[in-house]
Amino acid sequence: MEKIISLFQRNYETDRLARDEVVPGAEWVLAGEGVATRKFDGTCCMVKDGQLFKRYDFKPQNFKAIKRALKSNSQVPEAIWGERPHGWIAAEESPNSVTYHWPGWLLVGDGPDDKYHREAFAGNEQNGTYELCGPKIQSNPECFESHVLIPHGKEILDAPITFNALREWFKDKDIEGVVWHHEDRRMVKIKKKDFGMSRTKAAKSE
């Protein structure tokens, strides 16, 4: 699953808040394209052919080799990578060009680290990506009483698209944010906290 770009630029050098300047590649949202959906605060998962995968970034072992290669403008050697974890699937064709982390998916196993994934997984979910939420995930801001898998794009929102209208709209919304889905599978997001707002009341479980 590729990283989702934001709708508006953020002031990374100062307060890290959004400003009224669209991120390149997100203009289609302001053109009225795509469907606005609720962004849930959990951890990303994928169901594929009856199996559950969790998000897992495959990281290089030899950062010194990376630094030497970048400094000399030469190709980063394959030797930086260790053995890929069993059951890992790349989500992108190549690693990030800056961090060299390689986003992907790791098959959920029988160990204690995957306990809550297994609790949420019924085994009959359709192929696609999901958000795992529940009592032991991210301090449970969504206030679910049990661990659940929420399909991405499940809840449609009537969200505005301009900077000022979104900032006003978020004021009485106790949600993490909005993700716009284009029919060609592109996505764009914006979070409530990007406007300097926090979630002020407990969300109701569905």
Residues 6+ apart with CB under 8 A from 141: 41, 176, 199, 203
Q: What percent of the chain has pLDDT over 70?
A: 87
Q: Which tokens is 5 given?
A: 């770009």
> 18 versus 72: which is more confidently predicted?
18
Residue 43 has pLDDT above 90, yes or no: yes
Task: Summarize the confidence of residues 160-179 as an average pLDDT.
Answer: 97
> 93 versus 158: which is more confidently predicted?
158
Work out the pLDDT band at 204, boundaries 50, 70, 90: very low
* All structural domains of the chain with their residue ranges: 5-42+153-195, 46-106+123-130
For tokens 């795509």, the residue is 34
